[in-house]
Amino acid sequence: MPRTPAKPTTGGRLATALRAVALFGGALVFLFPFYYMFVGSLQAEPDTSPAGAFPTSGLTLDNYRDINARVDLLGSLVNSGIFTGGVIACTVVFGVLAGYALARLRFRGRGTLFALVLLVQVIPFQLLLIPLYVLIVRGYGLADSYLGMILPFAINTTAVFVFRQFFLQLPDELFAAARVDGAGELRVLWSVALPLVRPALLTVVLLTFIGPWNEFLWPFLVTKQADMQPLAVSLANYISNVAARAANPYGAVLAGACVLAAPAVGLFLAFQKHFVSTDIGSGVKG
């Protein structure tokens, strides 16, 4: 006869309730800055007191209208999409190829090469700005071009590391069976490995998106043309040069932050349910 599930004790229910309350409180603490940023961007008059987080009147879209009047939001969004999309595409392609090679191919110097990949991660990007500027702008002549903005971010060592670790977790039997069937390395990568590392792909896309989407220093150095600058550069110029003269400087800064943060938050909400582990051992018996 099947066993009847044991009923939770009073102590167990209390612990569950306390855990739920603690998690709910932590979620509120985490979300409150986003809520305060959004509410502050809608205020007609600045109110930095605690009561300003719960306004009862005076909400308006004037701060957003002011940004749209002074910054070409649509054009800046298109520029950001081209810049960020190009970086993501290059990062995923090169990261998958390099991660697969470091995880599954046997060649001389593989360990040394992986050590160099880890070493690159500890070098701040700001330290490379001047040599990169000389190389990209003066050496390659890629000033005022999308390629000049994308090229320094085309290979992301963090993505290489993430893909390598996921490929190492895949069972060797899957690759051996594919090679016995006559599949080449690219076919093994495309048909066997990639379908099993979808969480890694989504994680790399999200992590890669955040960097170039919020990057304003490098695109500003590459191009001074306003019609080519990404949204982060346009908003940085607006906040530093125009927002102080707005009717509500406090609300103008928060409105700019909301415009910049909205796509990243939307991307996370769209992908968050996919950030789960894949059953990578399901294709192997025993």
**CATH number, domain containing residue 252:** 1.10.3720.10
* Predicted pLDDT of residue 216: 84
Specify if 120 maps to a domain.
yes
For the segment 147-181, what is each residue's pLDDT rounded down to a tens digit? 999 998 988 888 898 888 888 888 888 888 888 87
Specify if 152 maps to a domain.
yes
Closest CA to 160 of 108, 110, 109, 214: 110
Specify if 251 maps to a domain.
yes
Quick one: what percent of the chain has pLDDT higher than 70? 90
For the segment 65-91, what is each residue's pLDDT rounded down to a tens digit? 888 888 888 888 889 999 999 999 999
Entry pTM:
0.78
Specify if 102 maps to a domain.
yes
Specify if 72 maps to a domain.
yes
| Per-chain mean pLDDT for the chain | 82
* Predicted pLDDT of residue 277: 47
Residue range of the domain that includes 256: 64-274
Decide if pLDDT at 283 tops 60: no
Specify if 54 maps to a domain.
no
Specify if 14 maps to a domain.
no
Count how many domains the chain has. 1
Rounded average pLDDT over 241-258: 77
